[in-house]
Amino acid sequence: MQTDFLKIEYALAFATPFHFGTGIREGLIDRTVVRNGGGYLYVPGSTLKGVLRERCEQLERFYEDAQGTGTVQSPHGAEVALLGLGHGNPTMITRIFGSQIRPGRLFFDDARQSETDLMQYESQSGNDNMGRYKGLQVEVSTQVRMDRPTRTSVPGALFTSEYGTHDLVFQGVIQGWLECSAINADNYTSLQGAKPTYSLLLLLAGLRVVNAIGGNKSSGKGRCACEIRELAVNGMKVEQAIWEDWFEQLDALAQYGSEG
């Protein structure tokens, strides 16, 4: 068992409009999107964490429970968490995200636009007009809720929503401590002999398959691509060619229950 300090820098590039709601109405806008103190859009770290956890759970079930026995369950249910109390080998999901009885030690920062990208919203005419183009970050859509059985609009259910515009890119960081066992398969081969832990490999794979985030995903909103831009383990940068090579060993995740 080893404990590593990880730092993962990633970017979320949106291909469609997206919505991270505040739950607050403002003027004629019923559903506003989150902004920071400067008025710029960002992706809440907690939102990414939730979506990433779902993707990692799907991957864990695929590799550890290939026969569909249902033995792999989310540790975020109270009953499952209590069943795991006192067990020395938590699930990979618990190691990454924590559970109701075991706090996670990875921290998910909010993903923000780069300073270069923010400059496009600034006026060049003087400080009095700085940020005057912030409205370019969002688009507004008015919709009506439909009654599915009758396929007619619901009276009084007209609402207006803000969406972040497509093509925006946000940069974020995941960092903290991750305790797990290194993959130890006899047939394991990797560049420079470097090996990931089971949980780190699952985390990286989960990031690669994040493809939608935010509200209204069923209507095509929030489609995105997640790019891993840099990985450092214990302060040492891992070259992209090395961690990409790790994905060839995803089948080894099936051995976690017996070796992890």
> Which tens digit of pLDDT belongs to each residue from 41-57?
999 999 999 999 999 99
pTM: 0.84
* 260 pLDDT tier (thresholds 50, 70, 90): very low
Strand boundaries in 93-166, DSSP class E: 106-108, 111-112, 138-147, 152-164
pLDDT of amino acid 69:
44
What mean pLDDT do residues 8-19 have?
96
> DSSP letter at 181?
P
What mean pLDDT do residues 160-181 have?
94
* 1 pLDDT tier (thresholds 50, 70, 90): confident
Degrees (nearest 5) of the Cα angle 56, 60, 64?
Answer: 175
pLDDT of amino acid 148:
76
Tokens matching residue 169: 């890119």
pLDDT-wise least confident of 13-27, 125-139, 222-236: 125-139
Give the span between the Cα atoms of 260 and 255, in whole angstroms: 7
Percent of the chain with pLDDT over 70: 81
* 213 pLDDT tier (thresholds 50, 70, 90): very high
- In this predicted structure, the answer to whether residue 223 has a pLDDT above a threshold of 60 is yes
- In this predicted structure, the answer to whether residue 227 has a pLDDT above a threshold of 90 is yes
pLDDT of amino acid 80:
57
pLDDT of amino acid 65:
65
Most confident of 59-73, 76-90, 165-179, 213-227: 165-179
Place of tokens 């923010």: 118
pLDDT of amino acid 258:
61
Tokens matching residue 19: 């919505």
Query: Domains of the chain: which residue ranges?
Result: 2-18+43-114+166-259
- Three-state DSSP string of 123-140: CCCCHHHCCCCHHHHEEE
Give the span between the Cα atoms of 40 and 55, in whole angstroms: 28
pLDDT of amino acid 252:
87
Helix 45-64 crosses helix 198-208 at what angle (to 10 degrees)? 110
What mean pLDDT do residues 26-45 have?
91
